[in-house]
Homo-oligomer: A and B are copies of this chain.
Amino acid sequence: MGETPLLDRLVEALRCLPGVGPKSAQRMALQVLERDREGALRLAEVLKAAVEHIGHCQCCRTLTEHPLCRICVDMHRDRHLLCVVETPADQMAIEQATGFRGQYHVLLGQLSPLDGIGPEELGLDRLEARLAEGEIQELILATGTTVEGEVTAHYIADMARGHKVRTTRIAQGIPLGGELDYVDRGTLSHAFSGRRDL
Contact = CB atoms under 8 A, between A and B. Distances in A.
A69 to B, nearest CB: 9
Copies in the complex: 2
Contact of A5 (B16, B64, B73): B64
Interface string A42-73: 11111111110110000000011110001001
Interface residues of A, number: 50
A33 B63 contact: yes
A110 to B, nearest CB: 13
A30 B93 CA distance: 12
B44 A29 contact: no
A111 to B, nearest CB: 17
Those 9 A-B pairs whose CB atoms lie nearest each other, nearest first: A16-B39, A44-B48, A44-B47, A13-B43, A13-B46, A6-B65, A10-B50, A18-B31, A44-B44
A132 interface: no
B54 A6 contact: yes
Contact of A33 (B44, B51, B70): B51
Contacts of A88: 30, 34
A94 interface: no
